[in-house]
Structure 1
Amino acid sequence: MTRSPRNLHEHLRDQVGQDIVAGRLAAGTIVKAEDLRARYDVSLSVVREVVRVLESLGMLRPVKRVGLVVLAMREWTLLDPLVIRWRMTEAPAGQLRSLTELRVAIEPEAAALAARHATAEVAEEIMTLAARMRSSGRQGDVEAFLDADVAFHRAVLGAGGNELFAAFDTVIGEILAGRTGAGLMPQFPHPDALQWHFDVADSIGRQEPGRAREAMAKIVAKADDEMGSVWADEPRHPGR
């Protein structure tokens, strides 16, 4: 089947991005657009479009009269959903560990802020999403549970009125989808985890920030505990 120009662009973008993430195109490698055209068997116009995206993500840098230099991880836009997705595909253990640790640091405080500042309408929406999670979780409907779970955490992040926490919502979506896609989400979530989501929602509705923070801390700590074995032997690379 012939790919549409859009699909061809996205396919090449993902291929090159994953090759950089996996080290198949190692940091410091110098390539030219023509090299990429030959390597991936596509047109130069598609290569140029993809290169622009990867430049914007800090993964490639043009050097005059030299070509394109593949950049090290410290230059990447690590919280961009595309980069997260590529790393989740090529190195899921390390990516899940880093993102889960980030959740542990951010989400409890976001829940406390939501308890201070959420409107009544948003608090009701969060409670409704907690109920959807409980229903789909008890039924073992993984897809419906994921949809409700992502919506719940996005709503909490946005409810406190902090635009930086709210911007973290796309990252949360990639984390939860990646965990589910990697088969690390149980079909029937632990009853305690379902109750803690209700506790977060109830605390937000009652404007109890301390209780909201504590309940969300339990949720992310449970995720950390459930997945810890996945990255137990994964090395860290300080300053990478």
Structure 2
Amino acid sequence: MSSRLHNLVMETLGMRIVSGELAAGDTMHSEHLETELQVSRSVAREAVRVLQSLGLVETVKRVGIRVLPATDWNVFDATVIRWRLAASGKGGQLRSLTELRSAVEPAAAELAAVHAPDELAAELLTVATQMRAAGRTGDLELFLDLDIRYHGLVLAASGNEMFSQMQSMIAEVLRGRTHYGLMPDHPHDEALQLHMDVAHAIHAHNPELARNAMEKIMRRTMDEVGGVWAHEPRIFQPLPSSESV
């Protein structure tokens, strides 16, 4: 029960902040949260601690719980990504993640073609084949599960532990594309074939072909969903002053 209530408070406040209902600089008080959400002080405090760890709020003595600007958020955290994808400004989040994927995944595919253990390369080929079958039948939920596994395998097979840690981020953006109606009913045959091409190239230890095919996948993705973020403003993170560098 305590865990469920903790998640309820965290999700409620997280969505309010990310959606803009609570703006940067707004303050809250723990006792008000306890009354509004009908939870104990310990549950409210634990939820606030999690939000602090995500950079969404800070506690200020004699002021309360203050909402922080988006430039302070831990934008690499999968929970923050999920909240941003559920908010009205989801286009900006999709753009940032897709651009990040476009930079990382071709490099991961290239490294995987050089370093992937045989069992990972074989599984990737199996998953790609299953994806093609699910895509052609229009089973988008199964396709989504396989797509998440596929891209996770590419990252893991690169042998780069920092790439591999991006699996949960990419899983959230893939879920967001499907759940918010940004995927076609039947994935295009070209996209399905490109996933096969990457898998075959990694299995055959051909890094150039693996990278090129993954770059084509990313370009297709940008073309397919780019309209969602066409009018979304970019967020420019402030750099630390030169004295602190």
TM-score (norm 1): 0.95
- Give the match for residue 127 of structure 1: 125
**What residue number does 2:103 align with?**
105
Q: Does 1:32 align with 2:29?
A: yes
CA shift at 1:6, angstroms?
A: 2.2
Partner of 2:157: 159
Instruction: Please point out which of 185, 188, 191 is paired with 2:186.
Output: 188
**Cα offset for 1:58?**
1.1
Amino acid in structure 2 at the alignment position of 1:19: R
Residue in 1 that maps onto 2:67 = 70
Compute the displacement of 1:30 (Å).
Answer: 2.3
**Could you tell me how far 1:209 is from its partner in structure 2?**
0.8
Instruction: Provide the residue aligned with 2:116 in structure 1.
Output: 118
> What CA distance in whole angstroms lies between the structure 2 residues aligned with 1:180 and 1:38?
37
Superposition map of 1:219-230 within 5 A: 219-230=217-228
Shift of 1:66: 2.4
Equivalent residue for 1:176?
174
Q: Does 1:79 align with 2:113?
A: no
* CA distance in structure 2 between the aligned counterparts of 1:96 and 1:42, rounded to whole angstroms: 34
| 2:241 aligned partner | none
Counterpart of 1:21 in structure 2 is: 18
Partner SS state of residue 21, structure 2? coil
Which deviations, in whole Å up to 9, do the C-alpha atoms of 1:38-71 show, x marking residues without a partner? 3434332221111111011111112223222211
Output the CA distance in 2 between the equivalents of 1:174 and 1:237. 20
Shift of 1:22: 1.4
| Two-structure CA RMSD over aligned residues (Å) | 1.3
| Separation (CA, whole Å) in 2 of partners of 1:11 and 1:31 | 17
- How far did residue 187 of structure 1 move? 1.8
Query: Could you give the per-residue CA deviations for residues 132-176 of structure 1, whole angstroms, max 9, x where no partner exists?
Result: 100101111111100110000000001011010000000110010
1:92 corresponds to which of 90, 93, 114: 90
CA distance in 2, matches of 1:238, 1:50: 28
Q: 2:7 aligns with which of 10, 28, 40?
A: 10
29-38 or 176-185: which moved more? 29-38
Q: How many residues align?
A: 237
Q: Quote how far apart the aligned CAs of 1:238 are.
A: 2.1
Q: Following TM superposition, by how much is the alpha carbon of 1:131 offset from its aligned partner in structure 2, in angstroms?
A: 0.4
Identity of aligned residues (%): 50
Could you tell me how far 1:7 is from its partner in structure 2? Answer: 2.1
Deviates more, 1:42-51 or 1:212-221: 42-51
TM-score (norm 2): 0.93
Give the Å deviation of 1:36: 2.1
Give the match for residue 50 of structure 2: 53
> What amino acid is the match of 1:21?
V
